[in-house]
Structure 1
Amino acid sequence: MRTKEPQFRLTSQETKAEATTRIAREILRSEAEERQNKTAALKAARLARQAAEDAAPVAPKSRKATLPGS
């Protein structure tokens, strides 16, 4: 079985600085994508929770009568 090849490869014309820049941009792009996915999932969960709360009937709070001067 062959092992997985490294994700980041240097081409023959790519300098170390260019490779670092490219890899950093790939990492930032993947992190941004993950952040967007997480935000979308959290928003969907929040909207679902709000919809469930809006659909559930809310019982009115009972008030206790207070006597003047007490």
Structure 2
Amino acid sequence: MSTEIAQIGEQTLSPVAPRKPQAKGDATTDAARAILRAEVEHQHAKTARLRAARLAFEAQQPKEIPGSRARPLKPKTKKRAAAASAPKGTKHAATAALEP
């Protein structure tokens, strides 16, 4: 990328005899815009290349059946662990976990 910008910079920053005081500012503005344009074009090309690679990769992956994916499990907290191991019919899961 830096070589592309350097090449563009060399082309647009070639010595030009300014006619007015504003001409120097215009030359700088034109050079900056050319550099930005080159960066944007480079980014678009990179995005297109990565999109094509992603689509090719996804095309090779096996298709999933919609809705067949299991829900992720919630992490068990102490209360949930105690409630899950408590015998049915007890009023408080925490007291049931303490009893032998």
Q: Give the TM-score range, shorter chain.
A: 0.5 to 0.7
Per-residue Cα deviation, 1:2-34 (whole angstroms, up to 9, x for no partner): xxxxxx7x87x5232110111100000000000
Cα distance in 2 for partners of 1:45, 1:16 equals: 45
Mark the structure with the bigger radius of gyration: 2
Query: In structure 2, what residue type is equivalent to 1:17?
Result: Q
Aligned identity (percent) is: 17
TM-score under structure 1 normalisation?
0.64
1:47 maps to: 52
Flag the structure with higher helix content: 2
Quick one: which of 57, 62, 65 aligns to 1:60? Answer: 65
Equivalent residue pairs, number: 55
Matched, 1:33 2:71: no
Gaps of 5+ in 2: 1-12, 69-100
**TM-score normalized with structure 2 length:** 0.47
Query: What is the alpha-carbon root mean square deviation over aligned residues?
Result: 2.3
